[in-house]
């Protein structure tokens, strides 16, 4: 099975650690790349447009509440790039705001998940997410 590359766009160090640990515990062969704010994410995403230098991620996990550029701006940027439009983007955030959910789906997110507050539930969610996108979906 080929390497599965995930771009995690998250500013909370605790959530970065928990998400990365959950992913690698379930799927040790994954490559997790991290952007810690919206501006850094957009610069990294731009670098994927040159296919000769960087491999595009297979999946993007995106928080909404980011410094410098919010997740909605990052999502719109991704979905405006013809070379990136088919990369699944999953919103993984603490926000359960109906406005955030609506805006995310209007901008063509593939799914919107609210982070559980309990570590064990969060771990289960991340494992289910990776299992779905890595093992079940044809990318």
Report the distance separating Cα 73 and Cα 70, nearest Å: 6
Walking along the chain (139 residues) 10 residues at a time, the average pLDDT comes out as 90 96 91 96 90 83 96 96 93 96 97 95 94 86
The pTM (predicted TM-score) of the whole model is: 0.94
Q: Which domain holds residue 33?
A: 5-136
pLDDT given at position 3? 85
pLDDT given at position 2? 77
Number of domains in the chain: 1
CATH classification of the domain holding 90: 3.40.50.2300
Q: What's the per-residue H, E or C state across the chain?
A: CCCCEEEEECCCHHHHHHHHHHHHHHCCCCEEEEECCHHHHHHHHHHCCCCCCCCCCCEEEECCCCCCCCHHHHHHHHHCCCCCCCCCEEEEECCCCHHHHHHHHHCCCCEEEECCCCHHHHHHHHHHHHHHHHHHCCC
Please report where in the chains the tokens 């040790």 appear, as a residue: 28
């Amino acid at each position: 099975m080929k390497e599965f590359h995930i771009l995690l766009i998250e500013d909370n160090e605790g959530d970065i650690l928990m998400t990365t640990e959950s992913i690698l515990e379930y799927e040790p062969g994954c490559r997790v790349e991290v952007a810690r704010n919206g501006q850094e994410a957009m610069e990294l995403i731009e670098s994927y447009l040159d296919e000769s230098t960087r491999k595009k991620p297979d999946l993007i996990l995106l928080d909404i509440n980011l410094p410098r550029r919010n997740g909605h701006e990052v999502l719109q940027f991704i979905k405006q790039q013809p070379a990136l439009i088919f990369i699944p983007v999953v919103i993984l955030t603490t926000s359960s705001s109906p406005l955030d959910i609506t805006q995310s789906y209007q901008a063509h997110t593939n799914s919107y998940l609210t982070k559980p507050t309990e570590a064990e539930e969060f771990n289960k969610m991340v494992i289910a997410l990776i299992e779905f996108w890595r093992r079940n979906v044809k990318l």
